[in-house]
Amino acid sequence: MRFVEEFRDAELGATVAAQILSLLEPGRHYKLMEICGGHTHSIYRYGLTDLLPDEVEMVHGPGCPVCVIPMGRIDDAIAIAAREGVTLACFGDMMRVPGSEQTLLDAKAAGADIRVVYSPLDALRIARENPEREVVFFAIGFETTAPSTALTMTRARAERLANFSCFCNHVTIEPPLRALLDLPEFGIDGFVGPGHVATVVGLRPFEFIAADYGRPFVVAGFEPLDILHAIEMLLRQLADGRCEVENQYKRAAPDAGNPVALRAMAEVFELRESFEWRGLGEIPRSALKLAPAYADFDAELRLELPGASVPDPQACQCGDVLKGAIKPWECKVFGTACTPEHAIGTCMVSPEGACAAYYNYGRFAREGEPA
């Protein structure tokens, strides 16, 4: 696979790892946050921590659009799917996420018409092919995915589809980062930035992190070599005393982002006044809803939803994991009450959740340690 395998080259990996070693300041411990769940997944899946020195600690951030959806919204999705005549189309990522009583997978087993799709366009096709059913697309994702939903809604409107709507849970990247940076004692030295979000928004939205909060920020691709390279660039900035936003993912993320995608989003969505984030609470202007011109396609307006705000179970510490305050294994219920098969929180069931990544990939005693 071109543009993929070259960036998984083990020899180049070793070269960059050696370079990282040479940039360490003696006696200094570095805490770097990778924001995006996809980066967390890659780090564990390729065993990158084996290639990084102990002095470089990776802290997992909140960039997992599945993880940050609060339980009440899952309950809403299940309520939608449970209705007579309704088909809920959603990404596979959502199927195991727990609501207050059950998951979408459980609801499907109990008879709800829930279909896993790869693309919002597949949901559109289901609506076209089943005019007698009310098809609702469960939209999730940061700015990476929102433009695709936007184009899908534009198409639905152009086709005057009467039986298609969107349950919109798109979120934006800047507000949660600000919320994190405002936390007292947020001891992160630098950020590995979300490469695919950057293909849409460019570098500009991240400039405040370097300018106002004094942290270097490197937008990174998702292959293991990209991540190591971004870490190298961060350490180089720290060694040089620089503090900038840099782009490691130049081959795919233009510095200016994608104006066409941004325009598509602006046409179809507007910012909600506030949105509840798991673990971070209410954050103003951090999520999208359909614009008035698309009211006919807004599932929240077409259907009545419970709309309850459901707090996480007492035992759940997903919020702390998402903020990077604790490591997955430091959660009180990690691996015991909360496992991938029976999860209490989203971090354990999202494909890119930090707890899932650690449990599925990182959970073993290294050589020389007692098991």
- By C-beta, is 22 or 309 nearer to other proteins? 22
Which are the contacts of 258, defined by CB distance < 8 A and separation ≥ 6?
Answer: 147, 199, 200, 202
User: Nearest approach, Cβ of 125 to other proteins (angstroms)?
Assistant: 9
Is residue 8 within 8 A of residue 42, CB to CB? The reply is no
- By C-beta, is 108 or 215 nearer to other proteins? 108
User: Nearest approach, Cβ of 31 to other proteins (angstroms)?
Assistant: 16
User: Nearest approach, Cβ of 286 to other proteins (angstroms)?
Assistant: 15
- By C-beta, is 3 or 214 nearer to other proteins? 3
User: Nearest approach, Cβ of 94 to other proteins (angstroms)?
Assistant: 9
Nearest to 291 by CA among 101, 149, 134: 149
User: Nearest approach, Cβ of 214 to other proteins (angstroms)?
Assistant: 26
- By C-beta, is 117 or 303 nearer to other proteins? 117
> At CA 239, angle to CA 233 and CA 241, rounded to 5?
100
Which are the contacts of 292, defined by CB distance < 8 A and separation ≥ 6?
Answer: 270
- By C-beta, is 151 or 203 nearer to other proteins? 151
Is residue 203 within 8 A of residue 245, CB to CB? The reply is yes
- By C-beta, is 182 or 366 nearer to other proteins? 366
User: Nearest approach, Cβ of 262 to other proteins (angstroms)?
Assistant: 10
- By C-beta, is 110 or 308 nearer to other proteins? 110
- By C-beta, is 273 or 334 nearer to other proteins? 334
User: Nearest approach, Cβ of 47 to other proteins (angstroms)?
Assistant: 2
Which are the contacts of 96, defined by CB distance < 8 A and separation ≥ 6?
Answer: 103, 104, 105, 340, 343, 349
- By C-beta, is 102 or 301 nearer to other proteins? 102
User: Nearest approach, Cβ of 223 to other proteins (angstroms)?
Assistant: 9
Order across the sheet with 114-116: list the strands.
114-116, 86-90, 134-141, 164-170
User: Nearest approach, Cβ of 143 to other proteins (angstroms)?
Assistant: 8
Is residue 353 within 8 A of residue 319, CB to CB? The reply is no
The Cα 97–Cα 99 span in angstroms is 7
Handedness of CA 258, 203, 176, 64 (dihedral sign): positive
